[in-house]
Amino acid sequence: METSTKTARQLYEALKADPQRRRFGFGRKPALVNVDLQNAYTRPSEFATAYETDPRQIEHVNRLARLLRARGCPVIWTYVAYLGSGEDCGVWGTRADMSTALRSITAGDRRAQLDDRCEIDRDRDIVMNKRMASAFFETNLGSLLTFHGVDTVIVTGGSTSGCVRATVVDSLSRSFRTIVPEECVSDKHESPHFANLYDMMAKYADVLPVADVIDFLGRYEPVT
């Protein structure tokens, strides 16, 4: 194992600046998967479980969603919510420090509701209740992406070190080109945020400035 005195942020910035870094690139048709942009994780003034990295995160996500919708590409929003009994939370909800954060988030709870700053087209966007970290785990996300002819998945949301990373790894594992707009993901602490951006950039995804993703979508011609 190599040792270093650099912080996670410094390691990430060094990798980001490497001109030899190769990319997966965008494919023929993208989809946007917004992971758990719900009040439990987006409203720090209300809930101890929430966090904010870039204050414009949801603004950027909304812009991406508008661009994708206009080009006939799927927009998916996930949220976490469980039965009042917690029976569907599984072993993830058995640790004492997880019980409040997970098992108590029920479907009718404000914490389960998607942040009302999110611009959701309720007639067209897909809203999906997931129960584990990855948006792919035991949901129909994979089959929906296949149905829509998607080969590129743009992942936003939180947390960078948790549900975003899990979704990104599962996306790559299913052979989707995977894109993470840097300003569109967030975490509670700086070190895991940048450590996981580093890891995803090195192995699983293209971590790009959101401006680059917007530029691609502005030039993107829908597949016919």
Q: Which of 73, 89, 163, 184 is catalytic?
A: 163
Residue 185 has which token pair?
């993901």
Residues making up the chain, counted from first to last: 224
Neighbours of 56 (CB within 10 A): 12
Q: CA 73, CA 223: separation in Å to the nearest integer? A: 10
Q: Does 118 participate in catalysis according to the annotation?
A: no
Query: Catalytic residue positions?
Result: 163
